[in-house]
Amino acid sequence: MPETTHYILLTVGTTGDVHPFMSMARAVRALGQHVTVISNSIHAPLVQDANLPFVGIGSEAEYQRVLANPDLWNPKKGFEALMKDYGDQLQQVRGAIQSVAHGRRTVVIAHPFAVPGAVIAREQGWVQSVVATYLAPGNLKSCHDPLTIGATAIPHWVPMAWRRALWHFVEKGWIDPFTVAQINTVRAALGLAQVPSFLNHIAQAPDLSITLFPAWYAPTPPDWPKPLISGDFPLFEGSHEAALSTALGDFLDGGERPVVFTPGTGNLHAAHFFTCALAAVQQLGRRAIFLTRDRGQVPAELPASVLWQSYAPLATLLPRCAALVHHGGIGTTAEALRAGTSQLVVPFAWDQFDNANRVKALGVGTVIHAQHLSTRKLARHLRTLGNAPSIQTQCAVAAARFNQSHDPKTLCKAIESALHNC
C-alpha cells in the first residue's frame, strides 16, 4: 500500500456499526498507513481507547434523541425515524471529512448511509476514492434468493419481474421519500447533479464496494454492486474488553450454563423482550443473563438465577453459555456463530430479519419476530434449542469455519489493489 494514503473510516449508528470499522482501522494502521475514524461523537471514548484518531459528528443529545424514538425499532416506521434529519447529517459528514482530508491521497471507507456524504467530498476534490462497506447482506438490494424485504421473506416461487416491481414499490414509497430530497437539497446548494434514487446512488456512486461477511454466510448474487470484494466477519476485540466482570464470573461459576438475552446496544425499547425472558426462564427453571446498557428496561426485581449486566464481551461470555437470545445484529450473530452457541433470533427491524432467516437456514437456531414475542413462544423455542441435536451439530460446523485464519490486513491490501485497477 502506498505510504501516502490516508484512510478515513466513516460510520454512523450504534456500537455494532462502529466496531467493524475500528477493526479495519487497526488493520490499515498496522500496514503503516495514516488513519482517521469519523463517527457519532458519542463513540469518541470507544475509538480513542483503541488509540485511533477520531473526529465526531453530531452531539450526544442528537444521538440519544434518535434512540429514544420507539419508531426506530418498528419495521415499517424505522427508516423514516432514522432519516428525519439526514440532510443535516450529510453536512456534518462533509465538514468532518474536509477537516482531515488534505495534503495526501485520501480514501473514504464508508457505511452505506454515509456514502452520499463521502461522494460529495470526492466530487469536491477532497478525497480521491469512496469505498462502500456493507456490514450485513440485508443492507444490499437484491432481487435474488434469499430475498427479505423488511419483515417479509419473499417466497422462492415469486417471479423475477414481480421482485423488481416490489423493490420499485418499496423504494418509491418507503425509502426515497425520506432520503432523496434531503440529498438533493445538499447537492443543489453545492452545484452538484441531482440523484434519482437512494439505493441506486449508494450502489453505483462508490469506486468500490466491500462486504464484511463471508460467502458461506451469504453468497454473492449477480445483482450486487460491482466492483465488489467479499470480506469476512471483522470480529473486533478491544484488549480492555476481554475480561468478564467479577459479578459475571462468579455467576457463571455458580451453576449450570445460563441463557443470554440481549436486544442490542442501541435498543432502549425492549422492556417486553425482557419481561418475556424473565417469565420464560422462570417457567423452565433456567438461569439467565440480561445484557443491556439501560437497566430501566429490565424488570426491577430479579431472582438470584438471573443477572443483569450493562455489558459483557461476547467472545469471552458465549462459550460458557447454553444459548443466546438476541435481536439479530450482524456482530452478535457472528459472535454466536464463532462460539458455536445456539441462537434464538428475535428481530425488531432493519437487517435483523434477513440475519434471522440466514441463522435459521444454517440450522444454528430459530426465529420469533419481536412483534410476535410471548412468554409461551419463547419458552417453547428455548426447549427446542436445548433438545435439538441437529442444531448443536450445525453450530459446531459453523464454529469450525472460524478456525481458518483471517487477517483483516488482507482485505485492506485487496481494497488498495482494486482501487488502483478501477
Distance CA 253, CA 247 (A): 10
Pair (273, 151) in one structural domain: no
Confidence check: pLDDT of 1 > 60: no
The confidence band for 420, taking pLDDT boundaries of 50, 70 and 90, is: confident
Pair (148, 212) in one structural domain: yes
- Is the residue at 1 inside a domain? no
Pair (211, 252) in one structural domain: no
Q: pLDDT digit string (tens) for 329-371? A: 999 999 999 999 999 999 999 999 999 999 999 999 999 999 9
Q: Which domain holds residue 164?
A: 6-232+406-421
- Return the closest-CA partner of residue 264 out of 399, 134, 113, 73: 73
Pair (154, 105) in one structural domain: yes
CATH of the domain at 314: 3.40.50.2000
Domain count, the chain: 2
Please report the beta strands in 333-372, taking only residues with DSSP state E, as ranges in sequence order.
Answer: 343-345, 365-367
Matching residue, cell 430475498: 147
- Return the closest-CA partner of residue 328 out of 260, 264, 398: 264
Pair (193, 125) in one structural domain: yes
Task: For residue 203, give the amino acid letter.
Answer: A
- Is the residue at 163 inside a domain? yes
Query: So what's the pLDDT on residue 235?
Result: 77
Q: What is the mean pLDDT of residues 161-190?
A: 97
Pair (393, 312) in one structural domain: yes
The three cell numbers locating residue 384: 427446542
Q: pLDDT digit string (tens) for 37-93? A: 999 999 999 999 999 999 999 999 999 999 999 999 998 899 999 999 999 999 999
The three cell numbers locating residue 165: 416491481
Query: So what's the pLDDT on residue 4?
Result: 77
Distance CA 418, CA 412 (A): 10
Pair (262, 170) in one structural domain: no
Residue 312 exposure: Cα atoms within 13 Å on the Cβ side: 28
Pair (32, 95) in one structural domain: yes
- Kindly list the distances between the CA atom of residue 158 and the CA atoms of 155, 163, 264, in Å, as whole numbers in the listed order: 6, 7, 33
- Identify the helix (H) or strand (E) that includes residue 60: helix 60-67
- Is the residue at 367 inside a domain? yes
Confidence check: pLDDT of 2 > 50: no
Pair (279, 357) in one structural domain: yes
Read out DSSP for 218-285? SPPPTTS-SSEEE--------GGGSSPPHHHHHHHHTSSPPEEEE--TT----HHHHHHHHHHHHHHT
Cα-Cα-Cα-Cα dihedral of 267, 268, 269, 270, to 10°? 70
Q: pLDDT digit string (tens) for 256-288? A: 999 999 999 899 999 999 999 999 999 999 999
**Mean predicted lDDT score pLDDT of the chain:** 94
Residue 90, SS3 per DSSP? helix
Confidence check: pLDDT of 239 > 70: no
- Is the residue at 365 inside a domain? yes
Task: Count Cβ atoms below 10 Å from residue 14 Cβ, excluding itself.
Answer: 19
- Identify the helix (H) or strand (E) that includes residue 130: strand 129-134
Find how far residue 93's CA is from the centre of its chain: 19
Mean pLDDT lowest for which of 208-222, 266-280, 390-404? 390-404
Distance CA 148, CA 117 (A): 27
Query: So what's the pLDDT on residue 205?
Result: 97
